[in-house]
Amino acid sequence: MKLAFIADIVGRAGRLMLKRHLPRLQQEHFIDFTIANYENASHGFGLTKKNCEELLSYGVDMMTGGNHSFDKKEILDMFKEYPLIRPMNYPKETAGKGVFTTTILGKKVAILNLMGYYTMPMVDNPFTMIVEVVRELKAEGFQHIILDIHAEATAEKNTILYLLKDDVSAILGTHTHIGTDDLQVLDGCCYVTDVGLTGCRDGVIGMKSDIPIKRVLTGLGGHFDIDEKCKAILQMIVFELDDEGRCVGAEKIKIYDDHPKIVTKGWMEG
């Protein structure tokens, strides 16, 4: 099976890039299932019902979250209606779940959402929790397991790789909005430290640059905003899994505005 993962859709610019390109990419790359990260999809902070339905209409099958999952309070009821998850290591009393299960081409598939520690909200230990959750899923017969690790620290994501690479199919980093050049398939596990944002590419992590510049020069912050007339980028990982849930190939797709796509194959090792 072939899956696509799109990280950190940022605002209207990111949503429009999916509208323009996702249906064609799904056909060209024979994608069976598409995952996207929603936490910045509604003007950079959280997700509204309207934008959720919009993204699903473009071909997204389910969505993961992060530290901005709850910025729009209407999401508290949306978890029951839409294929959305949030980081599993929020307190157990928090609305929503951190695991999404489905069947793709006759195979049981689990998609997980986990949040790191460094600079993030107060959450349970991601490392001990994910080991236990993966162990339970394996006992239930899940071999195809995909993890969105939403974390600031690259070392946390890299640690997750060596902690789980023998037991999960893919570990895909989100949150920093800056794509990393380390896509690889290690011992049958697809890994990239950060997929990178889909949205404005001519600002600071998808936002206008004025407030970040003010902050570094004066120490005073302000409200981050998105430039509605920006240059945009789409960044997506496409990976293929065999019947045992091992990754047999991965590639990074980038599209700048409406220019031809750029495809980079992941390094295969092991």
Confidence of residue 223 (pLDDT cuts 50, 70, 90): confident
Q: Is 71 left (phi over 0), alpha (psi -120 to 50) or beta?
A: alpha
- Radius of gyration of the chain, Cα coordinates, nearest whole angstrom: 17
Mean pLDDT of the chain: 96
Q: Which of 21, 68, 175, 177 is catalytic?
A: 68
DSSP run (H or E) holding 11: helix 11-28
Question: Is the model's pLDDT at 270 over the cut of 80?
Answer: no
Report the pLDDT value the prediction gives residue 221, as an integer from 0 to 100.
82
Q: Which domains does the chain have, with CATH numbers?
A: 2-269 (3.60.21.10)
- For the stretch 225-236, pLDDT in tens is 888 789 999 999
| pLDDT one-digit tens code per residue, 172-216 | 999 999 999 999 999 999 999 999 999 999 999 998 899 899 999
What does the pLDDT read at residue 59? 98
Tokens of 261: 């796509």
Per-position b or e across 128-154, b if 16+ CB within 10 A of its CB: ebbeebbeebeeeebbbbbbbbbbbbb
Mean of the pLDDT values across residues 63-80?
96
Tokens of 12: 């209207």
User: Could you confirm whether 68 is annotated as catalytic?
Assistant: yes
pTM of the model: 0.96
Q: What is the mean predicted confidence (pLDDT) over 39-48?
A: 96
In the three-class reduction of DSSP (H, G, I as helix; E, B as strand; rest coil), residue 229 is classed as coil
* Count of Cβ atoms closer than 10 Å to residue 161 Cβ: 21
Please answer whether residues 249 and 225 qualify as being in contact, where contact means their C-beta atoms are separated by less than 8 angstroms. no
pLDDT at 48: 98
DSSP secondary structure letter of residue 84: B
Q: How far apart are CA 261 and CA 254, in angstroms?
A: 6
